[in-house]
Structure 1
Amino acid sequence: MKRRRAEESADGLSPAVARYQQRFALALKIQQMTLCVDNQSQDTSRELQWIQSQASLLLYIQSTWYPDARKAKVAKLGNQTQATAHPVESFYEPAVALCIQSQRSRRNDRIQQKSKAVVDMNQQ
């Protein structure tokens, strides 16, 4: 039975090579996590742009096709007190704002889930 040299590890690799492999694996893990977050943010920014364009289109259609309905809504909101008015239904803040807020929170949840999945996958 031969004795191993002090500079060799159990699998036959030198400690310097093993450290290099560990650093490379860590760099690869960080790169995968960054790529995952970047792809997710690009997808959600496209979704957000699409939602905003649809919202502006719908507001334009509403104001051009039904101008009297818009005036009636403004008059109705002017008669209500601030305490009884719905927080989203106002002339200055359309109902689409709520949708955009929920999209942002869902996007943040998805980013956290994906990064957690990548970390869990790399720990196995």
Structure 2
Amino acid sequence: MRTVALLFVGIYLLFAYWQINDPNPILWITLYLVSAFVSLKMYQKKNNLELLIVLQILYSSMLINSWVQITAFEGFFTPGHGLSMKSFNQELARETAGLMICLLTFIVYMIYTFSKKSIRIKNWDN
């Protein structure tokens, strides 16, 4: 799990860097830096189950909000134009995908943290 967490630190830092030219960079850079911080703490084995639950609630509500705003899925890329944004729906699709990646990572971290805590409790009781 430590290798996966360290990999996600790099991925989230890269995502945060890509958001510099976004129309609302403060929001997205902050979200990806928080995800990178949580992954770094997971790598250091200083995971916090309560923080993961709160972040899952926050990110899932933002994910639902972004998902509802998409009127038509137009893909992530514009043919012939690469990553340049040609429509608002493409931007929403990318934001929703980023939030989904963060949320799934938090869910995996929570399951891992919960399983480790239950193992410790079982070993302590014996």
TM-score category of the 2 structures, normalised to the smaller one:
0.3 to 0.5
Task: Please identify the structure whose Cα radius of gyration is greater.
Answer: 1
TM-score, normalising length: structure 1: 0.38
